[in-house]
């Protein structure tokens, strides 16, 4: 398996939770040399260590087939028990036929075809839209007692140049149902949507996007400001109803995860949230504590500071400990696999769960900022269940993700020359008909689906690498 596939669940009744790691990645430090850029540009400037990528015989359908089947197998679910399945993706290989319909192949033997949900798209936001839709479904009269599965996946590739080191690939599948070890907090989602051309894919014949990097970072910060502001307003209003009258701040999130285009942006975002807290505080103490020495920034306006290096630096420094405590552990997968687009933030969640014990996580509030260019963004929060006893659903979830780092270490490093060659293969072949894509199935992890053939009518046939080797 050449790309990261994550599977975990929001449901207490399942013990399974699994993560696939890429067997194939490129080192960012080697990519810096190969690209002839200054040392540290990708590693320090972007905060990226490695980048996973797919060969030509993987596409969005194969990624999602793998992650859905593995989740069902590992959780020992029956295919009948799923009443809804929705896919969030921006890797569009057909303008009409949804990835969801391709996944229905997996349900065929069960005879279960009564499975609501199709595909949903806006840049990296599709996974979050699917999650919200699924959670709403479970709470509505439409819910028939079965699980909702949320799938998100993408192959993030860029033309040669500045943006190429910010690629990645992967897929995540999640199960949603009642009484879960992770629960979305109700009535506090803060959403911000606006019309902007920061990152988009208008050249339908190309796998590559158009990117205005500087604008996109501004948009990301503006959306973060706006979503955080709405979130705080909503949660403070809930608090007031039960007699609690205090401002909500970053301190109230035990953990904070972000959509991660590159890790450095996330570190800056923690600083940005502190800036929001600071400006919203009626009388912040600038003599001691968190805000010490920040008096000079008391008068700034959020909208003037998107590219203000002084503000950025000061709040990044002031929030350094918060970043280390609340966010840094969530960047494990992002730093070593890159930007998976729709699954990015859910990969951060998996990284977080992988690096703490159930006891450490129990009862905590995890803040989550999801961003999709164009743009659609939401800040929401999850509560981790209190029950962290051995054998509890939370304990099982956490245990099943604990080998993340070991598996990342076990991947195959590919030199930049070979990576560039594989990117070129994708470029030249992704649209071909009557074609068998390049790529060895032996490079794939057991149980991985791959694209076997595209026939003369563009119909795609998939095969699966055997899950277990039969020993004689």
Q: Is 231 left (phi over 0), alpha (psi -120 to 50) or beta?
A: alpha
Separation in Å, CA 367 to CA 132, 144, 183, 297, 327: 15, 29, 12, 25, 10
CA dist list (Å): 312 to 7, 171, 198, 294, 330? 35, 32, 21, 12, 21
Q: Which of 27, 32, 58, 90 is catalytic?
A: 90
- The minimum distance between CB 156 and a copy of itself, in angstroms, equals 11
185 tagged catalytic: no
Nearer to a copy of itself, 203 or 418 (CB): 203
The reply to whether 268 sits in an annotated binding site is: yes
In angstroms, give the least distance from the CB of 322 to a copy of itself: 26
Sheet holding 18-20: strands in order across? Answer: 18-20, 4-7, 168-176, 147-156, 82-88
Minimum CB separation from a copy of itself for residue 120, in Å? 5
**Whether 216 contacts 198, CB under 8 Å:** yes
Distance, in Å, from the CA atom of 419 to the CA atom of 204, rounded to the nearest integer, reads: 24
> Is 207 labeled as catalytic in the residue annotation?
no
Q: Which two tokens stand for residue 142?
A: 């439409």
44 versus 104: smaller Cβ distance to a copy of itself? 104
Whose Cβ is closer to a copy of itself: residue 227's or residue 444's?
227
Residue 82 to residues 79, 104, 106, 441, Cα–Cα distance (Å): 6, 11, 12, 29
- Residue closer to a copy of itself (CB basis): 15 or 98: 98
- Of 64, 259, 348, 430, the active-site residue reads 259
Residue 53 Cβ vs a copy of itself, minimum distance, rounded to whole Å = 19
**Residue 264 annotated in ligand binding:** yes
- CA geometry: angle 226, 158, 424, nearest 5 deg: 165
- Active-site annotation holder among 124, 152, 227, 348: 124
Residues 122/92, Cβ–Cβ less than 8 Å: no
Q: Which is nearer to a copy of itself, 92 or 296 (CB)?
A: 92
Q: Least CB distance from residue 135 to a copy of itself, whole Å?
A: 7
Handedness of CA 70, 72, 73, 75 (dihedral sign): positive
Catalytic residue check, 259: yes
Name the one residue in this structure whose structure tokens are 């019309």. Answer: 195
What residues are labeled active site? 90, 124, 259
Binding residues for CoA: 162, 216, 264, 268
Binding residues: 162, 216, 264, 268
């Amino acid at each position: 398996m050449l790309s990261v596939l994550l599977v975990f669940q929001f449901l207490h009744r399942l013990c399974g939770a699994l993560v696939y790691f890429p067997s194939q990645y490129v080192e960012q430090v080697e990519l810096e040399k190969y690209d002839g850029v200054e040392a540290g540009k990708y590693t320090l400037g972007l905060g990226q260590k490695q980048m996973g990528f797919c060969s030509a015989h993987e596409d969005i359908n194969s990624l999602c087939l793998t992650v859905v089947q593995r989740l069902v197998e590992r959780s020992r679910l029956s295919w009948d028990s799923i009443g809804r399945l929705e896919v969030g993706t921006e890797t569009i290989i057909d303008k009409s036929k949804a990835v969801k319909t391709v996944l229905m192949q997996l349900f065929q033997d069960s005879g279960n075809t009564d499975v609501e949900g199709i595909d949903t798209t806006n840049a990296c936001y599709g996974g979050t839209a699917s999650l919200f839709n699924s959670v709403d479904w479970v709470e509505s009269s439409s819910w028939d007692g079965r699980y909702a599965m949320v799938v998100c996946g993408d192959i993030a590739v860029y033309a040669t140049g500045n943006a190429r080191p910010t690629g990645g690939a992967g897929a995540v599948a999640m199960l949603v149902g009642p009484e879960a070890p992770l629960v979305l907090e109700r009535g506090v989602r803060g959403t911000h949507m606006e019309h902007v051309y920061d990152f988009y894919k208008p050249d339908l014949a190309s796998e590559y996007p158009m990117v205005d990097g500087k604008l996109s970072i501004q948009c990301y910060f503006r959306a973060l400001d706006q979503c955080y502001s709405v979130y705080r307003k909503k949660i403070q209003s809930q608090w007031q109803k039960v007699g609690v009258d205090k401002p909500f701040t970053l301190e109230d999130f035990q953990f904070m995860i972000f959509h991660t285009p590159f890790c450095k942006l996330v570190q800056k975002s923690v600083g940005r949230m502190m800036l929001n807290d600071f400006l919203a505080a009626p009388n912040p103490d600038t003599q001691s504590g968190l805000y010490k020495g920040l008096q000079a920034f008391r008068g700034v306006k959020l909208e003037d500071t998107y590219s203000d290096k002084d503000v950025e630096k000061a709040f990044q420094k002031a929030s350094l400990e918060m970043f280390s405590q609340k966010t840094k552990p969530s960047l494990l997968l992002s730093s070593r696999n890159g930007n998976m687009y729709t699954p990015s933030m859910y990969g951060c969640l998996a990284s977080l769960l992988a690096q703490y014990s159930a006891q450490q996580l129990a009862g905590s509030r995890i803040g989550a900022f999801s961003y999709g260019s164009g743009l659609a963004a939401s800040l929401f929060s999850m509560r981790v269940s209190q029950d962290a006893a051995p054998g509890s659903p939370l304990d099982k979830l956490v245990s099943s993700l604990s080998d993340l780092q070991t598996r990342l270490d076990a991947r195959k490093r590919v030199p930049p020359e070979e990576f560039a060659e594989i990117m070129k293969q994708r470029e030249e072949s992704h649209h071909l008909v009557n074609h068998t894509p390049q790529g060895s199935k032996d490079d794939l992890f057991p149980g991985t689906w791959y694209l076997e053939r595209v026939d003369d009518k563009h119909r795609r046939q998939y095969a699966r690498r055997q899950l277990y080797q039969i020993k004689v």
